[in-house]
Structure formats: C-alpha cells, structure tokens
Chain A
Amino acid sequence: MTQVQQEPAADGSIVLCPDGPILVRGNFELVTPSGDPVPRQRKTVALCRCGASAIKPYCDGTHKMVRFRTEADATPSKKETV
C-alpha cells in the first residue's frame, strides 16, 4: 500500500496580499534564526511585512492604520501579464 505519492506541483501557497501581509498556507515550519519553533496557533498564518505589527512575526492588521502600500510590481495585475 505504500506507493510513491505523486505530489501536487505545490504543497502550499504564499499569497502576497496587496497592501497587507504575506499569507502562508500548507506544510511548513516557522522558526527563529536559531531554529527554535515560533509559537503558532493556526495552520494558515499571516506574516507581517509592513513592520508595524505588535505581534510580529504575525500580522495584526496595523498595516491598515499605517497605510502600508505594496510596490505595484510586487502584485502585478492580471491584465498586465497578457
């Protein structure tokens, strides 16, 4: 019964949310630079990329109050890639 499983192309996803955090879902480990696990309560997490969160590395929505804007080229619109 132990066949080699054909893995899907990606085992998770990293979503660059416009003007917001980085959403990470799938199987991964979140660790400190020395390799210790970062306490984690949920499967899918939002990582702060505006730098203003009070609960880093997680996002706490503060990006909305500091009017964080992501670079236009980090989130290319679908129309541009035709």
Chain B
Amino acid sequence: MKIPEPRGPISDGLFGLLAGEPGADPTAQDTLHRLVTGTLPVVGDVIEDGDVQLALFCLYELHYGGLDGVDDRWEWNPGLIALRQLLEEPFEQALRSAARLSAGPPGLAPAGDLDSDAVAEVLFGLAARDSGPGMSGHVAKKATLQQLREFLIHKSIYQLKEADPHTWAIPRLAGRAKAALVEIQADEYGGGRPDRMHSALFARTMRGLGLDDSYGGYVDAVPAISLASVNMMSLFGLNRRLRGAIAGHLAIYEMTSSRPNQLYGNGFRRHGFDAGVTGYFDEHVEADAVHEQIAGRDLAGGLVEAEPALLPDVLFGATAVLAIDARLTMHIMGAWENGSSSLRSPLPAAA
C-alpha cells in the first residue's frame, strides 16, 4: 500500500522514521516514542483521532502487505513494536468501554460454563438487538449513486483484505474452533478460486462504479472511525491473548451480514447495476448464512467450551463490533442527512 498523507505529529513522525533503515536513527525513534507518550494523555477520544488511527493502521500494515518503499525489516523492529503497544493500550481501553456501553444492562453476561449452543444463542441474541434498518435500509431505498460510491470507499479499507485479520487467529486455536475458522476462511478466500475470493468480488464491485480497487487506495479519504473499525480487527487478530475477541468479532460480523447484504444488493440494482457489481453482496447473503452458524457454534462456542475463561473476551469482541459499527453508521448517515460527504473530502462527481 502506498504511504498515506500524515494526519498529525504521530503519523508524520512515523512516516519520517519508516523512510529510513531500521535502527539507522535511534534519536528519531526516541523522539517519536516521547512524542507519543506525551500526546496520548491529551487525546480526547482515541477511536476518533485521525493521527492515532492512521499511525496504528500503518503499523499494522507492516504485518499485512507492507508499505511501499518501506524496508520489510521494520515489521519486527522492537522500537516500533513498543510504539504500537503504546497506541494499542488506550485503543483497547476505549474499545472496552465502548463495548460495555453497547452491551447495555447486565444480565446478558451469563454465568457458569456455557456449552457451544448456549454461546451461539447469546451471540445471536446480541446480533438481533442490532436489527435497525440504518445503513442497509438507506442504501436499499434512498442512497444516491454518489452515496453508493462513498459507501464502497468506507468498506474498501477492510473488504480489499477481507478475512485477513481473522486468519491470524488460526494457529492460536485448536480442535473444533480451529477447524471451524479454517472452514469459514476457505470460503472467504474463494474455496481455491482466486476470482471468487471475497476481496476480489469486492474489487470487482468497486471497478463497476468507476472506483480505484487498489488496496489502501482510499485510506486518505476516510475518517478515523473507518480506520478504527479495521484497526480493531488487527488488534484482536495480532494479539494471541485476544483470541476470544477475534472469535466473537467474526461471529457477530457473520451474524449481522446476510440481510444487510441483501439490502445493499437491492440498492445497487435500483441504480441499474448488474450481477457483476452486486455479486459481492449476493455472495454474502448465502455465504454468511452458513458462516454465522459455524462461527457462532463451532468457532466461538467451541473456543469457549475449550477455554471457558475466554467467554468475557468473546463477548467483548462481539459487542465492540456493534459499538464501532454503530458509530461508523452514525457518522456516514449523519453526513448524508446534512447533504454533505461522509469522506474527508468529497469525491469528484462520477464520470
């Protein structure tokens, strides 16, 4: 991915550092570390802070496809890992309190050891509370062509590497939970057909609307909350101690997918787009009705049966998705209701 525009002193300092060789400038690395330590306490809301979220996004990116022109050895540079942890700590705390808020009144957190059916039931119950039409209803019935393009741009930050953050969890799981995750991921990656990979289907949808389908092509365009929703997955996926959270995250993701994707597809059909464009959404109507069963019962449920102590983190991952997605939806819909763009700067009108 190409290096984005900095959004403040942290991302600016980080990109400056990454331009050099790992370890070549210890003073600059120290300066950045001190800057982050000094800045974080005065950041109001880490989740909505563009500078923090962009820096985290690019630090995580070193573990995915890398950053253009940046030495691959930076990935495991101890100073950079330390920097990432500095940023991750308040981010995780903010996610935990956002998740607690969205979890609502206690009584939902069940006591005692749950079997996998009971875990699936709790998760399906959580997902059902998130049934407001919101974004999907608007996309289906009202969204303009320009809004459909903005919608794809927000989604592209994740969907062009769809499934990758959850894949980190595979070697951290065992037995039934592992087999379940592999079964889901195999489907996400097209069952052996590269053109059926969900990320490839999404790229096709983007091209159909005249958008740039290169990975990270719109990072500069999206607000902090869009980056935060993807950083959350990387945080859960890359930290083994959060394997419960990534399982809960995937379960809720799958459980809140089939119906919205049906509505998204309707929105694009309403604008006259054919199956080439709606293929991504059509695929998810069917696939995620399968995935939600496996993710709820075998992945999350199987994990909790094997490691009952992980139940609170499974629920954390699940409620964090609901909380962050609700904020992202609020941001986008709020902008659209005001007749403005949900992006940092409006797209040029469609050609």
Q: Verify A55–B286 contact, CB threshold 8 A.
A: yes
Q: Measured between alpha carbons, how far is A45 from B297 in the docked complex, in Å?
A: 15
Q: Is B238 an interface residue (CB 8 A)?
A: no
Q: Verify B262–A17 contact, CB threshold 8 A.
A: no
Chain A residues numbered 51-74 whose CB sits less than 8 Å from any CB in chain B: 54-55, 58-62, 64-65
Given contacts A23-B293, A64-B124, A64-B128, A18 and B117 within 8 Å (CB-CB)? yes
Q: Measured between alpha carbons, how far is A60 from B259 in the docked complex, in Å?
A: 7
* Contact residues of A: prevailing secondary structure: loop
Distance (whole angstroms) from the CB of A80 to the closest CB of chain B: 13
Chain B residues numbered 234-263 whose CB sits less than 8 Å from any CB in chain A: 257-259, 262
Q: Point out the residue from B183, B196, B292 that lies within 8 Å of A61, measured CB to CB.
A: B292
Q: Verify A43–B191 contact, CB threshold 8 A.
A: yes
Q: Measured between alpha carbons, how far is A76 from B291 in the docked complex, in Å?
A: 23
Distance (whole angstroms) from the CB of A75 to the closest CB of chain B: 8
Q: Nearest 5 A-B pairs (CB), nearest first? A: A61-B258, A59-B289, A46-B290, A61-B289, A17-B293
Residues of A within 8 A of B (CB): 15, 17-18, 20-21, 23, 25, 41-46, 54-55, 58-62, 64-65, 75, 77-78
23 A–B pairs (Cβ distance < 8 Å), ordered by A = A17-B293, A17-B297, A18-B120, A21-B289, A23-B290, A23-B293, A42-B187, A43-B186, A44-B183, A44-B187, A44-B290, A46-B290, A46-B293, A55-B286, A58-B289, A59-B289, A60-B258, A60-B285, A60-B289, A61-B259, A62-B259, A65-B259, A75-B117
Residues of B within 8 A of A (CB): 115, 117, 120-121, 124, 128, 183, 186-187, 191, 196, 257-259, 262, 283, 285-290, 292-294, 297
Question: What would 14 more interface pairs be, CB under 8 Å, given A15-B293, A55-B285, A61-B285?
Answer: A17-B297, A21-B289, A41-B196, A42-B286, A43-B191, A44-B183, A44-B187, A55-B286, A58-B286, A59-B289, A60-B258, A60-B259, A65-B259, A77-B117
